[in-house]
Amino acid sequence: MAKRDTHRVLPHPGGGWQVKRDGNKRPSHVTGTQAAAIKIARPISQHQKTELQIHKANGQIRQSDSHGNDPYPPKG
């Protein structure tokens, strides 16, 4: 299985929430609320066909949405 590109909504160390793509050092966006970060991250993830993982304040994954090419039925 190929490694999937992922955008994440994470707590920002300086406060608020960040939208960050795996492999990038800096977040693409920082917002005051998680809802605002999700509103920004979802269309980016859909356009770039990446997975979107939304984390809780403690760092656990709350929700994961795939916006990539998901063939159905899966091979194998």
Confidence label for 1 from pLDDT (cuts 50, 70 and 90): very low
Residue 38 has pLDDT above 80, yes or no: yes
Helix (H) or strand (E) holding 37: helix 34-48
Return the SS3 of 39: helix
CA distance 16 to 24: 18
Cα 27 versus chain centre, distance: 11
Backbone φ and ψ for 7, nearest 5 degrees, come out as -100, 145
pLDDT of 64 higher than 60: yes
Do 52 and 45 touch, CB atoms closer than 8 A?
yes
pTM, two decimals, is: 0.85
